[in-house]
Structure 1
Amino acid sequence: MKRNTWQREAVREALGDTAGFVSAQSLHQTMREQGSEVGLATVYRALADLATEGDADSLQQEGESLYRACTPGRHHHHLICRRCGRAVEIEADPVETWAREVAAANGFTEPEHVVDVFGYCAECSAARASSTG
């Protein structure tokens, strides 16, 4: 585990204040607007470390790494809005059962996986419906 510095703690706090997944550049910009002097490279390193340690979730979207604060110590998956980035943690049980069954049926053991389900949240679905109607 990396040692906690004030910069890393500032990144952790800023990430915790976001509603969904954010890029390092976006988080850095928000931090700068709030008066933080943490550099962009430090934000990238801190986010990568937080994700490795399980304090943040990460995903790749259109070639960019996005991050959000997560519930540590609990395996989970996400529903992610393709429009606004809102993320909801969902229970892993049905996916875990499915992954174990599929792996076993194909002779695999110790399966590991990452599942993110993308769609539109209720607010974005309503906005899309009203803009097309």
Structure 2
Amino acid sequence: MTKSRDAVHEILCQSRGFRSAQDVFAEMRAVGSKIGLTTVYRALQSLSDAGRVDVLRTDEGESVYRACQTDTHHHHLVCRECGRTIEVAGPDVERWAEVVGAEHGFIDVTHTVEIFGTCSSCAEAARSRAEAAGKS
């Protein structure tokens, strides 16, 4: 599993954004790997458990992965159009999660927060397309 896990991690390290398990599988097969899709899923889970990859769920509910850029707890701001992702700290979110957990008697509270929007580059491109369409 270590060899497969390392190969999957390497694909994610070379990627610019988040990738689905199917994307990773297809890329590995395209370069001649004999890895199976189930092995890719297991490797991604193992990497996630070890804190070596970030995982988030898209608006469609699909899990996507990327190599962690930092070792500290963080959240993601993700462009719905191009997938550009920025890691952000959220001290207010951290405090809120602890308070909400404590109010209900929970301890060892963890959370994930992913923020989706449209980046300025994609928004500008959409405005340009709309203006061009309006002129025709």
Shared topology, TM-score over 0.5?
yes
- Which has a greater percent of helix? 2
Could you report, residue by residue, the CA deviation over 1:3-31 in whole angstroms, capped at 9, with x for unpaired residues?
Answer: 62x22111000011111111110111122
- Whole-Å Cα distance in 1 between the matches of residues 104 and 8 of structure 2? 42
- Contact 1:75–1:92 under 8 Å retained in 2: no
Structure 1: segments with no counterpart, 5+ residues: none
- Whole-Å Cα distance in 1 between the matches of residues 65 and 130 of structure 2? 31
Aligned residues between the structures: 129
Amino-acid identity (%) = 46
Cα shift at 1:52: 1.4
The TM-score with structure 1 as length reference comes to 0.83
SS of the aligned residue for 1:131 comes to helix
* Equivalent position of 1:126 in the other structure: 124
- 2:51 partner letter: G
Could you report, residue by residue, the CA deviation over 1:26-59 in whole angstroms, capped at 9, with x for unpaired residues?
Answer: 1111222233332222111101111111111112
The TM-score with structure 2 as length reference comes to 0.82
- Whole-Å Cα distance in 1 between the matches of residues 123 and 27 of structure 2? 27
Q: Point out 4+ residue stretches in structure 1 off by more than 4 angstroms.
A: none
Task: Choose 108-117 or 17-26, whichever is displaced more.
Answer: 108-117
SS of the aligned residue for 2:28 comes to helix
* Equivalent position of 1:29 in the other structure: 26
- 1:74 partner letter: T
- Whole-Å Cα distance in 2 between the matches of residues 131 and 101 of structure 1? 45
* Equivalent position of 2:134 in the other structure: none
Could you report, residue by residue, the CA deviation over 1:45-94 in whole angstroms, capped at 9, with x for unpaired residues?
Answer: 10111111111111222132111111463111000111122211111323
* Equivalent position of 2:46 in the other structure: 49
Bigger Rg, which one: 2
- Whole-Å Cα distance in 1 between the matches of residues 69 and 62 of structure 2? 22
Q: 2:90 aligns with which of 66, 89, 92?
A: 92
CA RMSD of aligned residues (A): 1.9
- Whole-Å Cα distance in 2 between the matches of residues 72 and 42 of structure 1? 25
